[in-house]
Amino acid sequence: MENPKKKSRKLIIFSTITIVLLTLILSAGLFIKNIFGNIEKVEATPEDLGIEKIEKAKVEQEVTYGTYRPDERYLNIALLGVDTIVVGNYDGTRADSIMILSIDRETKAMKLASIARDTYANIEGYGMDKINHAYAYGGPNLMVKTLNQNFNLAITDYVVVNFFGMAEIIDRLGGVELEVDVDEIQYINPYIDEVSSIKGVTPEHITTPGTYNLNGVQAVAYSRIRYTDGGDFKRTERQREVLLKLAEKSSSVKITDVVPIINQLSSNLMTTLGASDMTNLAVELIKGGYSSNMSQTMFPEAAYSGGDMINGVYYYVTDLSQAASSINNFFYGE
């Protein structure tokens, strides 16, 4: 049975985010098209994303998929976090955060699954490698194609978010309060230096364990720590913790600040969704009450996976068939 405290934290995250979206829609008015105009819109065919054959297989299970269309039950979106200054430049850039959001219009539910970035998977044209390397080899199209092919999914859209843009959003909201423990201290400052260098700002180090109001650079650095106990699993927990704190802050944002905040975020986004898609989807999620029916987890699961060294490189090796079954059961099981 799910811990009630954890469940309430999930609801806080998504209910406050929907409040911000609603405020945006009501306050931005005629500015909304200009705001979304800053987003880099990209085109991706089913062939680009490797879903043509998978869709046929899914039809036999009486499940339909597609891009944003109100008459279809499921909408599947990959959420990719990258650490490049220019969100459209993927040369050598790996997806630091990989998540899949599935929206079920029949049950009014949202399910979010994180994918371990070190997962040993097959990347078309490149063979077996860490799954997040797909982004460096072929950008978001190949990244999503790799997810679809390895896990028998039908992800039709994606959103790429620049972490450094998120740092600016956090600063605009006044920082986020987080506890940095003794194990995290030794790792957070190198990440602070790295992010500061890329952004061209002076680093502000955290020298002792404790609770701090972290600025944008520090919060992004905190969310990237992955070498303490728990590895990548613990890192995704930190990312969700930052999201929670950010959501709590955003729930009290002034209407006059909404447009510049979204404008700042939009310039750090790249997506297959159009302006009307995003607006319609935001309205649908708010009116449909999806925030009260949200679940999340991480794959591949430890029960059938584990770390292994292959040719001197660490990989998270899993039974891909079992992982595909588990992920599909999570998204589409009763």
Q: What is the pLDDT of residue 122?
A: 97
Residue 320 within any structural domain of the chain? yes
Q: What is the pLDDT of residue 314?
A: 93
Q: Which of 246-255, 265-274, 322-331 has the lowest mean pLDDT?
A: 246-255
Q: What is the pLDDT of residue 272?
A: 86
Q: Are both 141 and 210 inside the same structural domain?
A: no
In whole angstroms, what is the distance from residue 28 CA to residue 47 CA?
A: 36
Q: Which of 32-41, 42-51, 96-105 has the lowest mean pLDDT?
A: 32-41
Q: Are both 146 and 293 inside the same structural domain?
A: yes
Residue 265 within any structural domain of the chain? no
Q: Phi and psi at residue 56, in whole multiples of 5°?
A: -65, -40
Peptide bond into 46 cis (omega under 30): no
Q: Are both 309 and 212 inside the same structural domain?
A: no
Predicted confidence band of residue 123 (pLDDT cuts 50, 70, 90):
very high
233: part of which helix (H) or strand (E)? helix 231-250
Predicted confidence band of residue 239 (pLDDT cuts 50, 70, 90):
confident
Last-in-domain residue among 182, 216, 250: 250
Q: Are both 156 and 278 inside the same structural domain?
A: yes
Q: What is the domain extent for residue 219?
A: 174-250
Q: What is the pLDDT of residue 75?
A: 84
- Residue 30 pLDDT greater than 60, yes or no: no
Residue 30 within any structural domain of the chain? no
Tens of pLDDT, residue by residue over 142-187, are 999 999 999 999 898 898 877 767 787 788 888 989 999 998 998 9
Q: Are both 159 and 182 inside the same structural domain?
A: no
Residue 7 within any structural domain of the chain? no
Higher pLDDT, 33 or 251: 251
Q: Residue 121 is part of a domain; what is its CATH number?
A: 3.30.420.590
Q: Residue 200 is part of a domain; what is its CATH number?
A: 3.40.630.190
CB count within 10 Å of CB 30 equals 6
Q: What is the pLDDT of residue 111?
A: 85
Q: Are both 128 and 90 inside the same structural domain?
A: yes
Q: What is the pLDDT of residue 178?
A: 92
Q: What is the pLDDT of residue 31?
A: 43
Of all residues in the chain, the percent with pLDDT exceeding 90 is: 30
- 327 burial (CB, 10 Å; 0-12 / 13-18 / 19+) is buried
Residue 121 within any structural domain of the chain? yes
- Residue 289 pLDDT greater than 80, yes or no: no
Query: What DSSP string describes 166-212?
Result: HHHHHHHTT-EEEEE-HHHHHHHHHHHHHHHHHHT-------SSEEE
Q: What is the mean pLDDT of residues 3-17?
A: 42
Q: How many C-alpha atoms does 189 have within 13 Å on its Cβ side? A: 11
Q: What is the mean pLDDT of the chain?
A: 76
Q: What is the pLDDT of residue 224?
A: 82
Q: Are both 106 and 224 inside the same structural domain?
A: no
Residue 137 within any structural domain of the chain? yes
Q: What is the mean pLDDT of residues 274-284?
A: 72
Count up the domains in the chain and report the number. Answer: 2
Q: Are both 62 and 154 inside the same structural domain?
A: yes
Tens of pLDDT, residue by residue over 128-140, are 999 999 999 999 9
In whole angstroms, what is the distance from residue 66 CA to residue 106 CA?
A: 15
C-beta pairs of 311-314 under 8 Å, 24+ apart in sequence = 314/118
Q: Are both 202 and 76 inside the same structural domain?
A: no
- Residue 319 pLDDT greater than 80, yes or no: yes
Last-in-domain residue among 196, 215, 250: 250
Q: Are both 150 and 182 inside the same structural domain?
A: no
- Residue 204 pLDDT greater than 80, yes or no: yes
Residue 295 within any structural domain of the chain? yes
Q: What is the pLDDT of residue 61?
A: 42
Q: What is the mean pLDDT of residues 9-13?
A: 40
Q: Are both 49 and 117 inside the same structural domain?
A: yes
Helix (H, G, I), strand (E, B) or coil at 308: strand
Tens of pLDDT, residue by residue over 53-70, are 554 444 344 433 334 455
Q: Are both 47 and 126 inside the same structural domain?
A: yes
Residue 315 within any structural domain of the chain? yes
